[in-house]
Structure 1
Amino acid sequence: MSGSALSKAKGFKKSKSGTYLSIGTTAFGAISVIKQARKARTDHDTLKLVDAVVSAAAIVTGLAILYRELKRLGDDDVLLG
């Protein structure tokens, strides 16, 4: 990847579109965690259930950070307009 392409990719990641994409992929990861938790409960596997809970907490935290970033980007748009 060239320097210009890399800087464009970093710019996209910090854009509204990039943030929405990150929210979508993070939320999609939640489906996997839900399946993992259900299987752990069915199998009565406490360790896997704890892993699913920790993963779910990480997803919730990640979504909160992305939401905050989205709000910040929205505030910047108001200041520019």
Structure 2
Amino acid sequence: MSSKPSKTLSKAKGFKKSKTGTYLSIGTTAFGALSTFKQVKKARAEHDTLKLVDAVVSAAAIVTGIAILVRELKRIGDDDVLLG
């Protein structure tokens, strides 16, 4: 077995750094926000402060993650790894 990564594997790794991959990451992260929103609603309805704090921390992580991904999009600019 060769120690060199295959061309397909290299493209798959490059996908994470592409515009398309970054947009996909933003979408999946935003989808996680729906779950967090439901968690906040449930915690408020149950008057459970600890669950509410957990949900707020999760929401902060989601916002931070999206901000990092948007910054990555700006860094990528028009040079998409998979198109070149």
What's the TM-score bracket when you normalise by the shorter of the two chains? 0.7 to 0.9
Matches for 1:51-66 after TM superposition, within 5 Å = 51-66=54-69
Higher alpha-carbon Rg: 2
Between 1 and 2, higher relative CO (CA 8 Å, sep ≥ 6) is seen in 2
Deviation at 1:45, TM superposition (A): 0.6
Deviation at 1:3, TM superposition (A): 2.7
Deviation at 1:8, TM superposition (A): 1.6
Provide the TM-score with structure 1 as the length reference. Answer: 0.86
Moved over 4 A (4+): none
Q: Give the distance between the partners of 1:22 and 1:66, measured in 2 at CA.
A: 8
Deviation at 1:6, TM superposition (A): 2.6
Q: Give the distance between the partners of 2:67 and 2:57, measured in 1 at CA.
A: 15
Deviation at 1:25, TM superposition (A): 0.2
Unmatched tracts of structure 1, length 5 or more = none
Matches for 1:18-57 after TM superposition, within 5 Å = 18-57=21-60
Q: Give the distance between the partners of 1:22 and 1:6, measured in 2 at CA.
A: 19
Unmatched tracts of structure 2, length 5 or more = 80-84
**Residue 19 of structure 2 is aligned with which of 1, 16, 22?**
16
Q: Give the distance between the partners of 1:6 and 1:54, measured in 2 at CA.
A: 35
Q: Name the % identity.
A: 81
Provide the TM-score with structure 2 as the length reference. Answer: 0.83
